[in-house]
Structure 1
Amino acid sequence: MISLTYLLTVFLAVFVAEMGDKTQLLLIAMASKYKIRDILIGTTASILLLNALAVLAGGLLNEFLQSHLWMVKLIACLAFFYFSVTSLLKDGGEEESSGSKIKFAPLAVFSIFFIAEFGDKTQLTAITFGATNGLNANAIGIWLASSLALLIADIIGLCLGYFLHGRTPDRFFNLIAFAVFAVFAFVNLYTVIDSLGAYSLMIPLFISVGVVFTAVCAIILLKNRKK
C-alpha cells in the first residue's frame, strides 16, 4: 500500500513543476474567451488523460526493467536533474495557440490544453514516479495525486495570474521547482548507490555530481544574464 507521505511527494513535485508553466498562462488567455465552467471541464479531462498516459508509460518502463530496478532509480535521478536544470532556463517566448475552430467549448479547451501540456515537464514527472513504482495499485494513487496537483496548480495560476502578473518575479516559481527537483535527484542518486551496495563511492560520487551540477547551473545562469 502506497504511503500518504509518498503521495504528498508526488503531489508536491508535480505542483511545483506546473507553477509558472506556460499552460498556466494559456489558461489565463482562455479565460477571456471561454467560461470558467468550460475551462474547468476541459482542463480536468485533459489532465486525467495526460497523467493516465504518463503513469502507464512509467509503469511499463518499470516492468521492462524489473530485474534491474536500480536502473529505474537511475533514470529517475537523471530525469529529476534534468527537470531541475531546465527550470533555470529562460523561456524564449511561449507561443500561445489562442485560436480554435472547435464549437464545443470544453472540447476546445481540452484539445488546446492537451497539446500544450503533452510531453511537458509535469507529464515527464508523472512518468518518472510511475517508473519507480510499476503497474500496481500504487499507480492509481500516483495518477490521482499528480492529476490533483496539476489541476490545483492551474486553478491557482488562473486565479492569481491576474493579480501577480507583473508584480512577482517571473523566475520565482522556477527557482522553487529547481530546488525541489534537485533534492529529489540527489535522493534518487542515494537510492541507486544503496541498491548497488557501492557505499565506498557514496561521498566521492556525491561530491563529483554536485560539482558538475553546480557548474552546469552556473553556466545556464551566466547565459541567462547575457540574454
Structure 2
Amino acid sequence: MENLLAIFFTVLITDFVAEFGDKTQLLLIGMTSKYKMRDIFLGTLFANVVLNAIAVFIGGALNEILNSFLWAVKFVAAAAFIYFAVTTLKNDDDDEEEGTDSRIKFAPLAVFCTFFVAELGDKTQLTAVTFGANYGMSMIFVVFLACSIGLFAADIIGMLIGCFLKAKAPDGILKVLSFALFAGFGLFTVYQALGLLQARLSEKGSQAVVPVWPVMAAVAVLFAGLCLLQLWLNKKADKSSRA
C-alpha cells in the first residue's frame, strides 16, 4: 500500500510540475476571455482523460506515430492558436450576434480540440508515456489516475488565474494578454513544426531543406493580414450598428 501511494504521488507531482507554466496552462488563461469557465473545465477535463489514456495505455504506439507525424500535429496546433488570436480581436457585440446557443453547444468541443492538439506530444504527455512504461501493466491505472489529476490540477490553476484577471483586471487587459499568448504560441509552434519536418526529412535521408525563415515570414504576413481584416470587419460592424 505504501509503495502504491508513493508511486501515485510521485507521478502526480511530476506531471503537475511539468505542466506548471507550460503553454497549455497559459493558453487556458487566454481562453477565459472567450469561453465560460464551465466550458473550459469540461473541454479540458475530457482532453486530459483522453490524452493520458492514450499516453499510458498505448504509449509505445503513440511514440511511433508521433515520431512520424508530430510535425503535422504541430501545424494543426499552430493553426488553432492563430485562429484564436485573430478571433480574440473580434468585438464582444459580434460574439453575441452569433447566438449563445451555438456557443454553448460547441465551446467545450473547441476547448477539447485545441487543448488536445496543443498537448499531444508535449512534455507532460511524454512524461506519462515514460511512467507507464517504467511501472508496467500492474500499475497502469495508478499511473493514469495520477497523471490525469496532476495535469488537471495545474490546468485548473491556469483557469482560475484567467477568471481572476477577467474579473479584476481593467477592461481589455485580458484580451490583450490572450491575443499575445495565442499569437506568440501560434508562431512559435509553426517554427517547431518546421524544425520537426526538417528532422523527419533528414531521418529519411532526404537532402531537401525546409525554408524555415521564408515560411515563418510568410506566416507572419498572413497572420498580420488576418488581424487587419478582423479589425476592418470590427470597424465596418461598428458603422453598421450606428446607422
TM-score range (shorter-chain normalised) is: 0.5 to 0.7
**Do structure 1's residue 213 and structure 2's residue 210 form an aligned pair?**
no
Q: How far apart, in 2, do the equivalents of 1:205 and 1:128 lie? A: 24
Unaligned 5+ residue runs, structure 1? Answer: 28-38, 98-111
Would you say how many aligned residue pairs link Structure 1 and Structure 2?
Answer: 197
Residue 53 of structure 1 deviates from its aligned partner by 1.8
Counterpart residue number, 1:137: 131
Alignment of 1:72 onto 2:74? no
What pairs up with 1:171-186 in 2 under 5 angstroms?
171-186=176-191
Distance 2:18 2:171 in 1: 31
Asked if residue 161 in structure 1 is aligned to residue 161 in structure 2, the reply is no
* Greater mean alpha carbon deviation, residues 49-58 or residues 134-143: 134-143
What CA distance in whole angstroms lies between the structure 1 residues aligned with 2:49 and 2:148? 6
What's the % identity of the aligned pairs?
A: 9
TM-score normalized by the length of structure 2: 0.59
Residue 126 (structure 1) aligns with: 119
Say if 1:51 and 1:143, in contact at 8 Å, map to a contact too: yes
The structure whose Rg is larger is 2
Please state how far the C-alpha of 1:187 moved relative to its aligned partner: 2.3
Gaps of 5+ in 2: 1-10, 133-142, 234-243
Structure 2: how far apart are the matches of 1:224 and 1:165? Answer: 23
Identify the residue that residue 13 of structure 1 maps to in structure 2: 23
The match for 1:226 is 232
Q: Show the counterpart of 1:93.
A: 95
- Structure 2 residue aligned with 1:196: 201
With the length of structure 1 as denominator, give the TM-score of the two structures. Answer: 0.62
Q: Deviations over 1:24-54 (max 9, x none)?
A: 7523xxxxxxxxxxx8xx9868744431124
Instruction: Give, in whole Å, the separation in 2 of the partners of 1:135 and 1:216.
Output: 36
Superposition CA RMSD, Å: 4.3
What is aligned with 1:109? none
Deviation at 1:213, TM superposition (A): 0.9
Pair 1:147-2:141 in alignment: no
Identify the range of structure 1 (143-152 vs 64-73) with the bigger mean alpha-carbon deviation.
64-73
Contact 1:8 1:145 in 2 (8 A): no
Q: Which has the higher helix share?
A: 2
Paired letter, 1:93: D
How far off is 1:223 after superposition? 0.7
